[in-house]
Amino acid sequence: MKITRAEFVVSAASPRQFPREGLPEIAFVGRSNVGKSSLLNSLTRRKNLAKVSQTPGKTRLITFYRIDNRCFFVDLPGYGFARVPKAVKEQWASLLEGYLQNREELCGVVQLVDLRHLPTAADCQMFAWLQHYGIPVLVVGTKADKVSRGRRREQERQIARTLGLPPDVPLVSHSAKTGEGREEVLQLLAKWVSPAGT
């Protein structure tokens, strides 16, 4: 998938604010601070399309970016962030789950996990949940530049084992710093947006 134009459309606090253009959507989900915004910027080759946070956990809205009138990239609220009041967390979880469960335009989810660490319980829960709902998933291991080349394959294996990744779910390591893995991610996303390879 070649991206020439990427633009912010809306940050939605409720489903009423979601776009109604009917374009296919690819959603990005992961723990707060895992590197969602950085991945979005890397894929679109835009430095500041999505805000990279200094204070993690600020993204409580669902943000839609239009990609070449072809699809939307959707930045979902980060989960598993501790320092948030319970009521806020619940409201945020219901926005996230509501989107994943009900959104007809959704054609796949990119789940981000930090390549340096084993997935957390929240990561495993999210993956199992996506599988349960039959949503196509691509797992991206973020911050690959922080893991030595020699350790990457082993980290990928451990992550796949911890999540219980079936053989048909791809896992790609990516670095927003070096661009490694970018092309591979885009190739996989293209299959969701145009399944016939058009």
Ligand X SMILES: Nc1nc2c(ncn2[C@@H]2O[C@H](COP(=O)(O)OP(=O)(O)OP(=O)(O)O)[C@@H](O)[C@H]2O)c(=O)[nH]1
Smallest distance, Å, CB 116 to ligand X?
Answer: 10
Q: Is 41 near Mg ion (CB under 5 A)?
A: no
Measure the CA dihedral 159/95/88/130, to 10°.
-20
Q: Which CB sits closer to ligand X, 147 or 188?
A: 147
Q: Which CB sits closer to ligand X, 111 or 130?
A: 111
Q: 172-191: which residues touch ligand X (CB under 6 A)?
A: 175-177
**Could you tell me how many residues of this chain bind ligand X (CB under 6 A)?**
22
Smallest distance, Å, CB 95 to ligand X?
Answer: 14
- Given a contact cutoff of 8 angstroms between Cβ atoms, the answer to whether 32 and 56 are in contact is yes
Measure the CA dihedral 43/54/171/148, to 10°.
100
**What x/- string results for residues 22 through 41 when contact with ligand X is judged by CB under 6 A?**
--------x-xxxxxxx---
**Phi, psi (rounded to 5 degrees) for 107:** -115, -10
Q: Is 38 near Mg ion (CB under 5 A)?
A: no
Terminal alpha carbon distance of the chain: 10
Q: Is 146 near ligand X (CB under 6 A)?
A: yes
Q: Is 59 near ligand X (CB under 6 A)?
A: yes
DSSP letters, 30-87, are EBTTSSHHHHHHHHHT-SSSSPPPSSTT---SEEEEEETTTEEEEEPPPB--SSS-HH
Q: Which CB sits closer to Mg ion, 7 or 21?
A: 7
Which residues contact ligand X (rule: CB under 6 A)? 30, 32-38, 52-53, 56-59, 78, 142-143, 145-146, 175-177
